[in-house]
Amino acid sequence: MSRYRLDPAPEQVAGIEEHCGHARFVWNLAVEQQSWWKPGQGRAPNHAERCRQLTEARAEFEWLRAGSQTVQQQALRDFDQAIRNFFNGSHRHPTFRKRGRSEGFQIVGKNARVEKLNRKWSQCWIPKVGWVKFRVSRIIPDFRSYRVTRDRAGRWHVAFAVAPDPVPAPGTGEVGEVVGVDRGVAVSAALSTGERLSCPTLRPKEAERLRRLQRRLAKATRGSNRRGRLRTRIARVKAREADRRKDWVERTSTDLARRFDV
């Protein structure tokens, strides 16, 4: 996956959230329907049968018909692929998706279009929403589909599904050196060369702000709007820490792979 930060306009956010809700609803229905099937009790509905049921549901419910049929059918295709992966033994059984945690949908085929605006910005097409801008942080690869997602901090992203270029196996370089890495808590990584690497965390002011927000969250009423806003603010602080940690891991692993063969 090659992911970029999406920047939808305020009037576009409602349409994207509606797509997320419809895709999550269709996925959860498929999971519930699959849970009814047991060995020896007939076959579970196939993709064609689920698509027929989706057409009947769209004809009956106006709120579902107002959404994109392409997004909803793709959610069924994603579920079918997840079931195949489960029976092949490569993935776990599909589970229910929860609002606020599994927000996203996939665009494939002729609807997956991207246009370049300038050196820093491009835009991707979302059915019934239009062109949505995203920040070009690196070269956009050749793609066949992309997925629009939102994390717990409320940030939107677009991820392009691409096949990565092969990477040479360890030990085939010209460095000829070996390093040992001991991962710990106080010291994130201790190398056999004597180096000690520490993963960055929140700054003191950010940590204090997180503690204040968590204390306010503990006093908030469950299910209230205030509690929801506090959870979003806490998620933003934690997302900042997670981004720093992930960036450090990627930079450190790349540096070790370049400096050492094994």
Q: What is the pLDDT of residues 239-250, one digit of tens each?
A: 999 999 999 999
Helix (H, G, I), strand (E, B) or coil at 109: helix
pLDDT of residue 261: 83
Token digits of residue 25: 């609803």
Residue 170 pLDDT more than 70?
no
% of the chain residues with pLDDT over 70: 96
Binning pLDDT at 50, 70 and 90, where does residue 167 land?
A: low
- Is there a contact between 129 and 146 (Cβ–Cβ < 8 Å)? no
Report the distance separating Cα 227 and Cα 220, nearest Å: 5
Report the distance separating Cα 199 and Cα 250, nearest Å: 11
Task: Indicate the range of 105-109, 172-176, 215-219 predicted with least confidence.
Answer: 172-176
Binning pLDDT at 50, 70 and 90, where does residue 166 land?
A: confident
pLDDT of residue 175: 59
pLDDT of residue 100: 82
